[in-house]
Structure formats: structure tokens, C-alpha cells
Structure 1
Amino acid sequence: MKKIQILIGVLFLSLVSCEITDENIDQNNPNGASVNAGAVYPGMIAQTHRNMVAINARIAGIVAQQYEGLDAQQIAYDQYNIGEDDTDDYWDAALYGTGAMPDCYGIFTSNTEEVGALAKLYMAANLGLATTMWGDVPYDNAFIGDQGNFNPTFDSQEDVYATIQRLLDESIAGGVSSGIGEFYGVGSGGADWEKTARALKARYYIHLTSVDNTAAASALAQAQLALSSTSEQADFVYSSPAANSNPLFLFDNDRPGTLGVSPQLTSLMTGDPRLPVYTNVDGDFAGAGLFWGQADSPTPLISYWEVKFIEAEAIVRTSGTDADALAALQAAVEANMLYVGVSQTDADTYTAALTLSGSMDDKIETIVTEKYKSSYGNAPIEAWTDFRRTKFPALTPNPSAVGGVNPSRIIPRRFLYPISERLTNGTNYNAAISAQGGHLLDNDMWAFPTN
């Protein structure tokens, strides 16, 4: 696998910034007219990959029943008691505010060609996280605080998905495949960034199968141009010191015994050769020998196996052959198994037993359920998203759910906007709530209507 190992040292930053651009940066105005991408990229990339598995992503994993809350706030999340305070840090420090998206914006508005193109790719990935959690979110005028606008409006979710696709198209057109990854320790050739951009396009097309009859065909076209092996995916591998470790490892280290692997996932994976490297008999997710819970466990921006799952689903939805869909499904499962350390023999045995039969929904259930198993530890937000749009895998709401911000006590459909927006951007916050029909965890989003 290709690994992005971000070394945030003075010498590294000096070397990188000279190679990427000769422009200077005003350190007191990082989102201003002139941004040295070399100084900004390492932190932005590191934060983006953390966003895939930390804070809100961890809550999404609880909601999607990949994790189980055992103590403290995690029990509340397991009971769907997820308030506006619980999502605030992710909004302000991971995405907006001091998060990754202002850095992306600063880079691509000050740098052209492949330097700016990679920032557009990362902006699209972060914007996708934001809209799948909250629906309508700020974008068009969200990053111009230097121009005096500190109260951005919220773009509709439909417009946000269109923006994601436009950013990825511009990233590809801007030459994102032109070796830019070499600046970040990816190595000669590195991750294939154009294929990564197409993988993200496939992801954000397949999200829209409930509201766009062309979404599956668009996803299929992009998936077939996207990643062709795990060696092409952009993997961020965390490094010492401890503060730079994988967020799941850090959470277990800081708050031991408060989070475990869900019994629902364990039951679903009975006999699956990945289970021993996902969890142990105590239900831990970060113990010795557990693949996704180590200090240096990688976080893909998007994985090859996700691409193959998207391809399999899209083939089924576009009336392709069962044989082609099954081949894509088997490739997806095998890639994930080999990546986490399952032997080739065990992977072959498992994938040979996979079948696709019955109705379209039956086939999609098989595909999405296998995707759910493979997203554990690396893409919990996608597991939650797939459940909201397909109802698969078949999850039962927590019988201990509370009804405060989720009156129907269903598996949540969204997160509440954070308290910081209510207190500092109230007019636009209220407009977004009104446009979406409410502000509860059981309110649908435009992209994921209850069918």
C-alpha cells in the first residue's frame, strides 16, 4: 500500500514549500491572497484523514452499530442522545474554523495546476463528510472571513453534491495526477490522485440513488476509471510522537473502557476471518494485534475496496449481469481481507462462497452488508450513509434509545447543527433548519429520504 507519512518538521516544510511554490505566506492571514501550499498541506492532509475516523466519525460508527458505547458520553450516543455540543468540535476544528476546509480553500485560490488541484480533491472529500452529517452546509461564502464575512449562508445539500462533483472535475482537469504526492512522502509514483478523484466521484454519485435515476450509471462510469488496487489508494499512516497516532488508538488510550466493538457487528461477522483482527474476546477495538486500533494504523482517504463495492452495487442497479456484479463484490472483499492481514487461502474460501441472487434489493443487501463489514475501522461515516440510503444492513434501533432530540427513536438520520452556529450565525442557521423541515435526529435529508 502507498503511505502518506506527513513529517511536520521545520526542515521538511522548508524543503516542500520551496518546491511547491515560491509565493510567501502571511502567517497571520493564512486564507488571504497568498498562501504557500508547502506550509499548509501537511496539516491539512493529516486533519482530513483524521476526519475519516475521529470524533463525529466515531459517533457515526456507534449509530451504525459498528461500535458500542460502554461508558460516559458513548452510552448517550448509543442511545441517540447526540446534542448540538457533541458535534461542535468536529465542525469548528476538523472541518470549518481552524479545520481542513479553510486550508484547502486557501491553497487552491492561491495556487494553480497540480498544487491547487490536490487541494480541490481534499476539499471535496471534507465537504462530502460535512453534507452527509448535516445536510445543508456552508460552502459558497464560507471561507472569506478575510473579506469581512463571518456569517456564511448554508448551501442546499443538492447544491453541495453538485459542488463536490465540480471540485473533483476541476481537480482532474488541473492535473492532480502529476506526481504531487511525491511532495508528501508518498514516494515515486505515489498514490494515484486522478483515480482517487474518480473514486470520490463514484462515492458521491452512489449516495444519490434515492433522488437521481442517473446516479448509479454515473457512479459505475467513475468506479471503472478509479482505483485498481490498494497500492493506488492514498493511505495516511500516523507517526510518533503519540499525539500524531491514529485517532482510534488515541481514544482508547485516553478513555479506556468507554467504547467497544458492537455485538451486532460481531454477530454479523461470525465465521468471518477478519473478526480476530477487528476485535478480541473482550470486545476491544484497539488491543494487541487488532488491525485498525494501533498507533500507526492507516486511514485511507478512500479505499480500493470501497470502489469495488460501489461498482458491484451500480452494476446491479443498472441491470448489469450478476456475474459482473459478483466479480466486483469478490474483488472488494478480497482486497479488504488481504489488506488487514487475512491469508490468501482464507480470503479465497470466503469469497468463493459469496453469491448474488433474488431481487435487486436482495443483491444490494448482500453487497452493502459486505461493504459494512469492510468499512469497519476506516469508513464509519460511509457505513452510516449506506444504511440511511439503502436500509442495509438490517439494523434494529437501540431499545434503550431516548426521545429528546430523536422523538421517533429511530436510528438517527442526521446530526444536529453545532451550538457554535446557533450562537454566532443564528440567522443562517435558522434558515437552514427551516429549509430542511426541522432540527431533530430523525429528520430526513434531501439525499437520504425515508423510502
Structure 2
Amino acid sequence: MKKIKIILIGILSMGLISCEITDTNVDPDNPSADVVNAGAIYPGMITQTHRNIVALNGRIAGIVMQQFDGLDAQQIAYGQYNIGESDIDNSWGFGLYGAGSMTDCFVITQNNTGEVSALAKLYMAANLGMTTSTWGDIPYSDAFLGDEGNVTPSYDSQSSIYADIQTLLTESINEGVASGVGEFFGAGGSADWEGTAHALKARYYLHLTSVDPTAAQNALSEAQMAFTSTADQPDFVYSLPAQNANPLYLFDNDRPSTMGFGATLNTMMTSDPRLALYTTDGETFASDDLFWGKATSPTPLISYWEVKFIEAEAIVRTSGADLDALTALQEAVRSNMLYVGVSTTDADLYVNTLTLTGTSEDKIETIITEKYKSLYGNGPLEAWADYRRTGYPDLTPNPDAVPSFNPSGVIPRRFLYPITERTTNSANYDAAISSQGGHLLDDDMWVFPSN
């Protein structure tokens, strides 16, 4: 398995990427557009992007989607859909905007060209996808102009953000994201970056199945140009010391017994050979014995199994070629099982029982349910996106749901904007809420209308 392994000291000293490396003392957490040391900015940009997938927003999405259960403190509140505007403020201000990953992406793309800019555009697209699918309309076109005096950015419509994602990924491919970038990551090797760009294009086209009749065909075309094995997927492997560890591991280490493995998922996986690699007792989710619960557990930007699940669903939605869809589904599940440590024999026994029968909707339910199990520990935000888009897997909302921010009690459809937007960017915040028709957890967003 090829790995993206960020070793900060090694990268900063070697400067292995072909970009402008200055000898000026630049704080990588507060980069200036005047003096850009891309070699210093890249590690933080990449590290924070992968952390965003499974840290605060991903953890809450995992609880909402019943991949995890809240056992104590705030985690119980999240499971009851009591998710307020203060709960996700840090992920907005420090994970994405402010000193976060999207600001780093912007600085690099504005001050570099070619392969250096290309990879930053790819990461910007991935971060935009995470952000818009979580909140809806978001600041983008003038979001990173604080140095020019614009500290109250307007919100771009969600439909325009999805178009921007595709433009960024196309530009990334055209600017040579496939070449030269691997050296930046040192001895750990590199992913198939052009294949990753196509994979991300497939993901974000598939998000549009409820609003764009061409979405499934577009997603299928891109999935068939993506990378072709787990060896080429863009894995980020966390490293020691502990503060650099996988966010799920760190959370359990810092706040033990406040979150557990989801009872719903545990029941769903009774006969699944991955269960013993996901949890030891139906509650523990983080330990050195569990694949996604180690300090060094990887987080792919997008996985090979997700690509194959996208392909399977897109085939059902387009040609309806059952055998081709089943082959893609089986490869998706098999690749995930082998990746996490299931034996080839046990993986084959499981995947050979998979079938796609009934209506197209029945087949999509089968695909999304299997995808839900495979996204555990590595793609909670995408599992939530799938649920809002398709209604699958068939989950029962928490009967103890708190109505404060979610009067209908449904599994949340979005997050609230963070409190800092209401207090420091109120005019644009109000305009965004008005254009979207509300600001509660059960309000739909454009890309995921109610089923």
C-alpha cells in the first residue's frame, strides 16, 4: 500500500517539491500572499484536510449516522441531534477557513502554477465538497481576501460551489497533478493523483443525482478513469508522537468512554468478517487491535472502495447492467475487506453471497448499505451524504431527539452555521439563510432535497 506520509521536519528541510521555497521566516499557520513558502504550507494543508474527514465534523456525522453511539457528555447530545451553532465553530474557523486547510490551498494556488498549484486545487475541491455538503451555501469566491480588507465574505450558492469543484479538478488534471508531486511525500511514496482527481469528480457528480439527470452518467465516466486499486488511493497515515495521531484514536484517548461503536452498525454486521476488526466488544472503537482505531490508522482522501461503489450505483442508474453493477459492488466490498485485514477466503465467502435483485431502488439500497459498512472509520461525511441523497441505509431516527434545532426529529439534513458567522458576518449569514429557506437541522439543502 502506497502511503502519503507527512514527516514535517524532513519535508521542511528538504523542500522536495518544485515550488518557490523562500528563506524568509514564514509562519505556515498564517501564510502571507506576499511571501509564499509552498514547501512549508503544504504539510499543514494536507494534514488538516485529512483530519477534517474524521475529526469533529466527521465524528458528529458518524454519530448522526449511527456508526458511533454517544455514551456520555456532548456525544449524547449529538446523538439526540442537539447540535448547535457553537458545536462546530472550531471546524469552520480553524479546520477549513481562517488558519485552516482551504486558506492554505488558496495561498498556494494564487502564488504558484503547474503541479504545485494542481495538487492544491485538488485539495481545495475536496475541502469545498466537505464544506458545502455539510452547510449548503458557503463563502468561497471572496472568502480568502482578508489581507485585502474583506473580512465579511459573501456566500456562494451550493449549485455554484459544485460547479467550482468540477472546474478545480479539471484544472488540476490539466495542470499536471500526476507529475512530480510524489517526491514531495518522501520515501512513503505517492498516490495516483490524476486518478484521484477523477475519483473526486465522480463523488461530487454522484452527489447531484437528485438534482441533475446527467449526474449518474457523469459519475460513471469519471469513476472509470479513477485509480484502480487501494495501492494507488490517497492515504494519509498519521504518525507518532501522539498529538499527530489519528483523530478518532486521539478522541478516545482524551475522552474515553464518551463515544462507542454504533449499536445499529454492530447489529447490521453480525455476519460480517470485518466486525472483529471494527470493535472488540460491540462498544470499543479505538485500540491497537482495531483497524480504524489505531494511532496510525490511515485516512484516505477518497478510497478505491468508494470509487467502486460509485461505479456500481451509477451503472444501476444508467444502463441497468446488473452483472456489471454486481461485479463493481463485489470488488468494492472485497477491496475494503482485504485492506482492513480480512483473509481472502473470508472476503470471497462474503462477497459471493451478494446479489442485486428487485427494482432499481432495491439495488441502490443494497449498494448504499454495503457502502455504509465500508465507509466506517474512513468516510463518515460521505455516509451522511449518501443517506440524505438516497434515504439509505434504512435508519430509525433517535426517539429521544431534542427538538431545539430539529423540530421534526429526523436524522439531521445539515449543520447550523457557526456562531462566529452570525456574530461577525451577519448580513451575509442572514442572506444565505434566507436564500436557502431556513436554518435548522431538518431544513433541506439544494443538493439533498427530501426523498
Shorter-chain TM-score bucket reads: over 0.9
Q: Is the 8 A contact 1:17 1:37 kept in 2?
A: no
Between the aligned partners of 2:444 and 2:108, the Cα distance in structure 1 is 34
Q: What secondary structure, in the 3-state scheme, does the structure 2 residue paired with 1:3 have?
A: coil
Q: Is the 8 A contact 1:330 1:351 kept in 2?
A: yes
Aligned to 2:13: 14
- Deviation, 1:182, is 1.9
User: How many residue pairs get matched?
Assistant: 449
- Deviation, 1:4, is 1.1
Aligned to 1:205: 205
- Deviation, 1:66, is 0.4
Between the aligned partners of 1:143 and 1:186, the Cα distance in structure 2 is 33
Between the aligned partners of 1:369 and 1:345, the Cα distance in structure 2 is 22
Between the aligned partners of 1:263 and 1:180, the Cα distance in structure 2 is 42
Q: What secondary structure, in the 3-state scheme, does the structure 2 residue paired with 1:239 have?
A: coil
Structure 2 unpaired stretches of 5+: none
Match of 1:12, as an amino acid?
Answer: I
Between the aligned partners of 2:177 and 2:356, the Cα distance in structure 1 is 37
- Deviation, 1:36, is 1.7
Q: Is the 8 A contact 1:280 1:287 kept in 2?
A: no
Aligned to 1:76: 77
- Deviation, 1:187, is 4.5
- Deviation, 1:184, is 1.5
Deviations 1:334-391 (A, max 9, x none): 0000000000000000010000010010000000000000000000000011000000
Structure 1 residue runs of 4+, over 2 Å off? 17-29, 185-188
- Deviation, 1:426, is 0.5
Between the aligned partners of 1:386 and 1:367, the Cα distance in structure 2 is 11
Q: What secondary structure, in the 3-state scheme, does the structure 1 residue paired with 2:85 have?
A: coil
Between the aligned partners of 1:396 and 1:403, the Cα distance in structure 2 is 16
Aligned to 2:102: 101
Q: What secondary structure, in the 3-state scheme, does the structure 2 residue paired with 1:68 have?
A: strand
Q: Is the 8 A contact 2:219 2:314 kept in 1?
A: yes
Aligned to 2:225: 225
Match of 1:428, as an amino acid?
Answer: N
Distance 1:187 1:255, change over 3 A: closer
Deviations 1:376-419 (A, max 9, x none): 00000000110000000000000000100000010000000000
Is 1:49 aligned to 2:45, yes or no? no
| Match runs of 1:137-286 below 5 Å | 137-185=138-186, 187=188, 190-286=190-286
Q: Is the 8 A contact 1:199 1:226 kept in 2?
A: yes
Between the aligned partners of 2:180 and 2:353, the Cα distance in structure 1 is 40
Between the aligned partners of 2:307 and 2:141, the Cα distance in structure 1 is 29
Q: Is the 8 A contact 1:42 1:184 kept in 2?
A: no
Q: Is the 8 A contact 2:274 2:340 kept in 1?
A: yes
Aligned to 1:299: 299
Aligned to 1:351: 351
Between the aligned partners of 2:94 and 2:123, the Cα distance in structure 1 is 16
Match of 1:247, as an amino acid?
Answer: P
Distance 1:143 1:319, change over 3 A: same
- Deviation, 1:287, is 2.5
Deviations 1:52-111 (A, max 9, x none): 100011000001110000000000000000000001000001000111000000001111
Between the aligned partners of 1:179 and 1:390, the Cα distance in structure 2 is 39
Distance 1:38 1:294, change over 3 A: same
Match of 2:294, as an amino acid?
Answer: Q
Between the aligned partners of 1:153 and 1:25, the Cα distance in structure 2 is 33
Between the aligned partners of 1:358 and 1:270, the Cα distance in structure 2 is 24
Match of 2:444, as an amino acid?
Answer: D
Q: Is the 8 A contact 2:266 2:275 kept in 1?
A: yes
- Aligned sequence identity (%): 65
Between the aligned partners of 1:297 and 1:323, the Cα distance in structure 2 is 34
Q: Is the 8 A contact 1:17 1:36 kept in 2?
A: no
- Deviation, 1:22, is 4.1
Aligned to 2:424: 424
Q: What secondary structure, in the 3-state scheme, does the structure 1 residue paired with 2:8 have?
A: coil
Between the aligned partners of 1:282 and 1:370, the Cα distance in structure 2 is 19
Q: Is the 8 A contact 2:21 2:36 kept in 1?
A: no
Match of 2:436, as an amino acid?
Answer: Q
Aligned to 2:26: 27
Match of 2:231, as an amino acid?
Answer: S
Between the aligned partners of 2:445 and 2:433, the Cα distance in structure 1 is 11
Q: Is the 8 A contact 1:26 1:32 kept in 2?
A: no
Q: What TM-score, normalized by structure 2, do the two folds share?
A: 0.98
Distance 1:192 1:391, change over 3 A: same
Q: What secondary structure, in the 3-state scheme, does the structure 1 residue paired with 2:111 have?
A: coil
Match of 1:20, as an amino acid?
Answer: C
Distance 1:428 1:17, change over 3 A: farther
